[in-house]
Amino acid sequence: MGLRTSLATVAGRIVTWGARRFRIGGGTALPGFLALQLHPDLLRELARQLPHGTIVIAGTNGKTTTARAIAALLETSGLAVVHNRSGSNLPRGIASAFIEASSLTGRIRGDIGVVEVDEFALPAAVQALQPRMLVLLNLFRDQLDRYGELETVARTWRAALAALPSDALVVVNADDPVLTALTEPFSERRWTFGLDDPAVALPMLPHAADWRLCPRCGEALTYRQVFLGHLGIYACTGCAFSRPPLTVAGCSVASVVPLRIEVVAGTCRVTLESQLAGVYNAYNVLAAATAGLALGLDQVGIVRGLGSVEAAFGRQERVLVAGHELTLLLVKNPAGFNEAIRLLVLAQQRCPVLILINDLDADGRDVSWLWDVDVEKLLALDVPVSTGGIRSGEMALRLEYAGIEPAAQYQGVVEAFDRWVASLPPGCCGWVLATYTAMLELRRALAQRGTLPSFWAQ
């Protein structure tokens, strides 16, 4: 600690206040950025004051939701949690959240940190935060123009694992063969979770599956069951590599919308219920429950805590607009988009769909990934599908090639949304699928109209 920490904290706090006062964003990144310029070791200084340490969550999909769920568990058991809730997950975003929880003298007010981290920022974040637990969710193909090939991300994560304190626990999704292989050296302090229910298995490995080869020997992997993307119960045809035994197993997914899962951990068996829906959220809920058990929280608290978790920014968020109940779904990559479509089909509500595709830096400038999404599955829903956003035309063409004639092809994000809403029959529900910046733009407009709270206030 010291003068420098204090100075950086004060500077950050002034910027946070200014950003919100003058409405230049939510102050979720700039304060941390400036503070880290003033004091590069700020995160380490603040994190090491937390009496119960920090939990770090990483993965291509589900970071924000899982981090929220873990924070909810800890809050239920009476701890004050420092959390980058807005989903701003680069070091500057994490620093912003920590600064906001600190006094002007650079003292952090909280018991435990819950931090979601960007894939590429993981080694730096682990170095700075020295977490007591690292939760690894999944590794999918995402924004190739930014993240590069999957092997590059896997290498980055190997470096992050090597930087963990020697007593840190590793909670890992064992249904992901890549994560299983990455965390093998940590098997004695590793908690594995995964699904074990043939009822939610897919008939085959989807087109967008990213890993078909054994990460250990390179031979083909065979799947007894596939649950999502390349997540499932796998075994290598060439060596002994296979899905390891699960510490915490989601044995029976009784309901997907909303979620109800029977969870078995050793001799204990509990039913988890959540307002969240979809198989991908089953993994997020399982990850949070496993983290809770590994931290020694009691079962009743975990069940209650998870039941209270609400959707994060644009993740199955429900809004009421002009008498229409609309559900907002963020889609960022093929695996996530496929799961969103699966949720629409499973929900069995025949609501019209609006798909908003942007190609700004934060979305990935390359929209090629839309062609890896199994858009054809929307045919089963038989509802009008419209498009909007900067790449409305690309999405409309993708739909056309999937045999779905777009109901309308709108321009812009907010303009598309308004015109689409106006076209809905009275009282009709609707789904809005949007990429990151499209969701941000839409939510900002809805917040200005008083339909939604600002995302940093959630």
Partner 1 sequence: MRLRIGWLYARTMNIYGDRGNVLALFERCRRREIDTEVVEIGIGERLEPGRYDLFFWGGGQDREQIAAASDLQGAKGEVLRAEIERGVPLLAVCGGYQLLGRFYRPHDGPELPGLGIFDAWTVAGDRRMIGNVVVESAEFGEIVGFENHSGRTYLGPTAQPLGIVRIGYGNNGEDGTEGCRYRNAIGTYLHGPVLPKNPQLADFLIACALRLHGWEEPLAPLNDGRAWQAHTEAVARARAQRRSFVLRLPLRRS
Cβ at position 336, least distance to partner 1 in Å: 15
DSSP state of 208: T
Residue whose CB is less far from partner 1, 73 or 209: 209
Helix (H) or strand (E) holding 281: helix 279-294
Query: Is residue 145 annotated as part of the catalytic site, yes or no?
Result: no
Pairing of strands 315-321, 408-409: unpaired
Nearest distance, CB of residue 396 and partner 1, angstroms: 6
Q: Tokens 């009691």 belong to which residue?
A: 298
Residue ranges in 214-233 that form contacts with partner 1 under rule CB under 8 A: 218
**Any contact of residue 366 with partner 1 (CB under 8 A)?**
yes
Nearer to partner 1, 362 or 428 (CB): 362
- Residue 145 as a binder of partner 1 (CB under 8 A): the answer is yes
Q: Is 236 left (phi over 0), alpha (psi -120 to 50) or beta?
A: beta
CA distance 104 to 83: 18
253 CA to centre of own chain? 20
Type of residue at 185: P
CA atoms of 434 and 355, how far apart (whole Å): 6
Which of residues 148, 185, 198, 238 is near partner 1 by CB under 8 A? Answer: 148
- The footprint of partner 1 on residues 382-441 (CB under 8 A) is 390-394, 396-398, 400-401, 409
Alpha carbon distance 261, 286 (integer Å): 9
Looking at the DSSP bridge assignments, the partners of residue 172 are 136, 192
**In 27-110, where does DSSP find H-type helix?**
30-38, 42-47, 63-76, 91-100
CB atoms within 10 A of CB 113: 29
Taking the complex as a whole, the smallest distance from the CB of residue 151 to partner 1 amounts, in Å, to 6
Stretch that binds partner 1, among 31-39, 71-79, 138-146, 165-173 (CB under 8 A): 138-146
- Annotated active-site residue in 41, 298, 361, 366: 366
Establish if 155 lies at the interface with partner 1 (CB under 8 A): no
- Indicate the residue among 41 and 149 with the shorter CB distance to partner 1: 149
Q: Which of 147, 241, 283, 369 binds partner 1 (CB under 8 A)?
A: 369
Catalytic residues: 366
- In the complex, which residues of this chain contact partner 1 (CB under 8 A)? 141, 144-145, 148-151, 207, 212-213, 218, 359, 365-372, 390-394, 396-398, 400-401, 409
